[in-house]
Amino acid sequence: MIKEMKEVEILLVEDDKGDVKMTQYGLAAAKLLVNLSVVDDGEKAINFLRKASPYVDAPTPDLILLDLNLPKKDGREVLKEIKFDSNLKIIPVCVLTTSDSDFDILNCYEYGANCYITKPIKFEDFSKVIKALNEFWFTIVKIPSR
């Protein structure tokens, strides 16, 4: 019996256009059926997740890839809001950031991050990370259905 692949909804919260492109390429290389939504600041991320204007028709993500260093509302605040919101806390959040600070790592896990990854600098390494993330979250781990 062949299992039908469902489209995976990913929300990327990232303000660096180069990192957005690398994530898009990494997802394409992983050959998954992905709908990637991108917002470039923390306020937009919360509005997207809560389906506030202009995101009233936004899909509910299966996974959130969250940068920490964002304009308007940083990723730490976004993570706290997600994990303290009973309607959002079930969505897995992977922090994907340039920070390798022990303080940031500890705080993100205390706020409920599901994983913390320091962004690799080389494109090949970045692609491997994105592919591994997808394989882990959408092949190995069971996540709730939308």
Domains located in the chain, CATH noted? 8-135 (3.40.50.2300)
Tens-binned pLDDT, residue by residue, of the chain (146 aa):
344 456 789 999 999 998 898 888 878 877 777 889 999 999 999 999 999 999 999 999 999 999 999 999 999 999 999 999 999 999 999 999 888 899 999 999 999 999 999 988 787 788 788 888 877 877 777 776 65
Residue 54 preceded by cis peptide, ω within 30: yes
What are phi and psi for residue 9, nearest 5 degrees?
A: -100, 120
Question: Does the pTM exceed 0.85?
Answer: yes
